Structures are given as structure tokens and as C-alpha cells.
Structure 1
Amino acid sequence: MNTIRSATLNDLDALTRLLDGYRQFYQQPSDVDAARAFLRQRFGRADSRILVSEDAEGGLTGFVQLYPGVSTVGLNARWTLNDLFVLPECRDKGTGRALMEAATQLAHDHGVSRLILMTQVENERAQHLYESLGWQRNTAFYGYLLDIK
């Protein structure tokens, strides 16, 4: 049985490997140093909340990362669930579900009105998980991206 808990700076090495694996899942080249620097920055700025899944031996098996934000229209807090990753060998064991449920509970505990996320169109496995947890596909808005160079 895995334990879900908030990540700490002591998790940096294991969390760096998970983040690097997550980025590779999205066809990014491995860059452990950049992943470590990114996470160190998140911890230093305290601008995200990271939950990790820990197995009985203390190894990290997955993580979810949330970024706090607000809605001007809704006049409330909304968090973006930007990242969910589970080690390939730990999938289909309830780890992703447990991380998502813990993220929802954390948001609830902080009075957050809405969680939002985006996933790749091809990532049907993740879509199935989200929808099984009651997430609704947004059909009212288009998503746009602008790369700033």
C-alpha cells in the first residue's frame, strides 16, 4: 500500500528522477540537472504543491503537482493540476487514482473551488482516469498557447 504525502526538499533526488521520467513521457530529452533545478526553484518559491506516492520501502512511485491561481470571473481560487506521473511499473495499481484523490482533498482543505487540467488528446489512459473520478471535459472553451521567445 502506498502512502500519499506532501513532498519535501528531502525528496529532491527521487522526485528529480520522476520529473525527468514525466518529461520523457512527453517526448522531451532527459535532462536531470534541469529537472532538479526546476524542482529546487518550486521548493524555493513555494509556488506549487507537490504530492508524492511512497511505497512501503520509502521509494517514490509517482507525483502530482498543483499550481495555485485565481479566477477573476469566479472570484475564487482555482488550482491547475499540471502534472501527474506514475512509474510505468506502478501503473494499474491505483497510484494515479490515489494521487488524484489526494490532490482533490488538498484543494478542498484549502477552500479551492475548482481544479483544472489539460492532457494530450492521445493520452486516453489519463482521460479515462480523470473521467472515472468525475472530471468533466471542457467543451465551452478552446485552449490556446503562445510561446514567448
Structure 2
Amino acid sequence: MSIIRYATLDDLDLIAPLFAAYRVFYEQPHDLLAARKFISERLSLRESVILLAQNDGGEALGFIQLYPIFSSIAAERIWLLSDLYVSDTARGQGIARQLMQKATQHAKDSGAAWLELSTAHTNTTAQALYESLGYQLDTVYRYYSLSV
């Protein structure tokens, strides 16, 4: 059984290695210092909410990072579910599902209209999880980005 809770700056040493591994999954170089700095800034500036999964012994098993954003069209708050990662040793135990359910509860509790996420086209495992939880693939809007 895992415990899902809100992370604080005191959890930086637990989250940073998971975040570094998450970035490696998305083909970035392993950089624990960059991971630690990024997470530290998000938490200290209160720019994100991080949900941390731990086992009974306190070992970090995974995390979700949420960013508050707003829909001008709906005139409501939404949450961007930006990052979801479960350690290799904890996969297959339902940790990702528990984290997703806690994120949904956080969105409801904060009065958000919906949660939004994106994932790699090739990440079919995550897509199956999202769809099993009721997430719908957007077929209306096309998303673009511009590097600056």
C-alpha cells in the first residue's frame, strides 16, 4: 500500500531523483542537479503542486506535478497534469492510478473545471491508463509550440 501526499520543499531529496529519472524517460540527459534546482524552484515559488507516492517505509515511489492554468473560453481554472512518473521498481502496483486519482481529487477540491495532459504518441501504457480513468483524446484542437 502506498501513501499519496502533497510534497513540500522538505521532500526535495525524495523527488529530485524521480524527476531526473522522469526526464531520462523523455530522452533528456540524467542531471540530478538540474532536477533538484527545477523542483526546488517550483515548490519554493509555489508554481506547482507535487503529489508524492511513498511506501510504508518512506521510500519515494512516484510523483505527479500539476501546474495551475486557466481557460479564457470557459473562464475557469484548470490544472495541467505535466509530469507523472513511477519508479521502475514500483511499476505495476497501481501507483500511477492512485496518483491520478489524487490529482483528480485535488482538481475537484480547488474548483477546477478539468485536468489536462499530454503524452508522447508512443507512450501507449500511459494512454491506456488515462483512457481507463475517463480522459478523452482531444479531436477539436491542434496544439502547437514555438521554441524561443
Residue 90 (structure 1) aligns with:
90
**Residue 138 of structure 1, CA deviation:** 0.5
SS of residue in 2 equivalent to 1:43: helix
Q: Distance in 1 between matches of 2:143 and 2:73?
A: 17
Is residue 2:4 matched to residue 1:4? yes
- The one-letter code of the counterpart of 1:13 is D
Residue 111 (structure 1) aligns with:
111
Runs of 4+ with deviation above 3 angstroms:
none
SS of residue in 2 equivalent to 1:142: coil
- The one-letter code of the counterpart of 1:53 is A
Q: How many residues align?
A: 148
Q: Distance in 2 between matches of 1:142 and 1:128?
A: 21
Q: Distance in 2 between matches of 1:82 and 1:43?
A: 14
Residue 143 (structure 1) aligns with:
143
Residue 102 (structure 1) aligns with:
102
SS of residue in 1 equivalent to 2:115: strand
Is residue 2:80 matched to residue 1:80? yes
Written as runs of structure 1 = structure 2, the 5 A alignment for 1:62-81 is 62-81=62-81
Identity score, percent = 44
Q: Distance in 1 between matches of 2:103 and 2:132?
A: 15
> What TM-score comes out, normalization by structure 1 length?
0.98
**Residue 80 of structure 1, CA deviation:** 0.3
SS of residue in 2 equivalent to 1:62: strand
SS of residue in 2 equivalent to 1:89: helix
C-alpha RMSD of matched pairs (Å): 0.6
Q: Structure 2, unaligned stretches of length 5 or more?
A: none
Is residue 2:13 matched to residue 1:26? no
Q: Structure 1, unaligned stretches of length 5 or more?
A: none
> What TM-score comes out, normalization by structure 2 length?
0.99
The answer as to whether partners of 2:9 and 2:44 remain within 8 angstroms in 1 is: no
* 1:35-87 deviation per Cα after TM superposition (whole angstroms, max 9, x unaligned): 11101101111010000001010011000000001111000001100000000
